[in-house]
Amino acid sequence: MLDAVQLRIRREQRTEVGPLTTLKLTTEQRRDIALLLGTRWELSNRPVRLQDLAAKLAEHRLTVRGLVESLRGPIEPDRARRDRARNVIAAEMERAAGSLTAAGVVPPVVEQWLADTGLPRPGEGALAALAEEVSEVVTHLRGIEGKIRLAQLAADVRNDAHALDSDRLLGRAVARLLAIVHELPRPQRAGRAWRAAWAAARVVCDGVSSRVLVLNLPLTGDAAAAQLCAAAPGEPIWLTLRSLTGSWTAPAGDVFVCENPTVAEAAADALGPSCPPLVCTDGIASGAALDLLAGLSGAGCVIHARADFDPSGFVIADQVLSVAPRALSWRFDLRTYLRECGIHSDHMVTAGLEAAAAALAHGYRSVNAPVHEERILASLLDDLRHGGGEPTVRNCVRDSSL
């Protein structure tokens, strides 16, 4: 009954008269209220009347609302609470905008930045605090002549060389502000859009920590990666993001993608220079891996991708599809998975990676047993043994400023 009255207070409805028609009571609860009111009210099916309760409470110099608030404290009406919340949100938005404007960011850019869905929701202070930190970075950038490395900038401003990394909220917030200022695509991860946003402000991103393992990748061109690949036929080598800057060309043939270095190493041992081009993400794909696959896909290569049968493998499949939407499945399908789990299935094999991964994810949720690539290593090597072809060459140009 107290809950029902509290709800009426919140809705700014009357609390001293009127029936509580929404109140559903058991027989025992009706008897308890009858004892409180001093009536045989519980014998009827009538709703509780607030005026009956008010009359009884008046004997103790109480009102119905007074009773509820004496037990539960002051109750704020919903409308007042919503108005107060809106005022708090507006005040925080104004503080955030003020910080950025004071740092020299023009109002249209501030407005667009504040609308970004990746920011904290205003109302609890996190957005205003973030805007102050972003303003510090922007102010510091304005005082720099020439280029500065991202880690150095982070250390100078926040005393933390990783404060502006792509996995930090501050790093993403600044990068997205710079993208708006320079009318560039919104960065969503550490990739080309991320580096472009920072490069527009003369900030150089780390190009050597992000790497990808490759085998027999026939790149040519002035990028260092082309020379590295040409120098090591049949040998797995690591390419960094830095080595992939410049321009390079790639044959428009088949390229296989796996997750684990064991596959690349076993392919090198078993097939050597005769193994078709192989890219290994080494777990969740790095920026270097995704840039490489994007370039290969753009050059007309047919991407055959796979990963472990586990949640991380589904993430990798999504990553590959984000840069190579026409990628095909390489034994990354439900039938292969169920067979390795000892379950017979006549499920059809789907060629497209997107459809295959979707069906696989559904089936995985039912079985919920991971299967790693090493379990089907013999089959993968057999595929590679028969996976060659005669490609044609198309160019893939990479912007060296990124």
- Whether the pLDDT of residue 395 is over 70: the answer is no
268 and 371 together in one domain: yes
Mean of pLDDT over the chain: 90
78-137, pLDDT tens digit by residue?
998 899 889 999 999 999 999 999 999 999 999 999 999 999 999 999 999 999 999 999
Do 242 and 279 have their domain in common?
yes
Q: Are residues 90 and 68 in the same domain?
A: no
Question: Considering the domain boundaries, does residue 79 fall inside one?
Answer: no
Give the residue carrying structure tokens 């993430």: 315
**How confident is the model over 241-253, as a mean pLDDT?**
91
198 and 97, same domain (yes or no): yes
Residue 159 lies in a domain: yes
Domain identity same for 181 and 279: no
**pLDDT reported for residue 200:** 95
Residues 316 and 259 in one domain: yes
- The reply to whether 198 and 315 lie within a common domain is no
Domain of residue 68: give its range.
2-72
Instruction: Indicate whether 194 and 215 sit together in one domain.
Output: no
Whether 107 maps to a domain, the answer reads: yes
Please give the model's pTM, rounded to 2 decimal places.
0.69
pLDDT of 346: 75
Nearest to 398 by CA among 254, 284, 291, 239: 291
Kindly give, in sequence order, each residue whose CB lies less than 8 Å from that of residue 321, ignoring residues fewer than 6 positions away.
327, 353, 354, 357
Q: Give the least confident one: 28-42, 154-168, 179-193, 212-226.
A: 28-42
- For residues 390 and 270, membership in a common domain is answered with yes
Q: What is the mean pLDDT of residues 170-191?
A: 93
Calpha distance 55→59 (Å, rounded): 7
Q: Residues 64, 30: one domain?
A: yes
The answer to whether position 33 is within a domain reads: yes
Total structural domains within the chain? 3
171 and 268 fall within a common domain: no
- Domain co-membership, 65 together with 95: no
Domain membership flag for residue 78? no
CA distance 317 to 340: 19
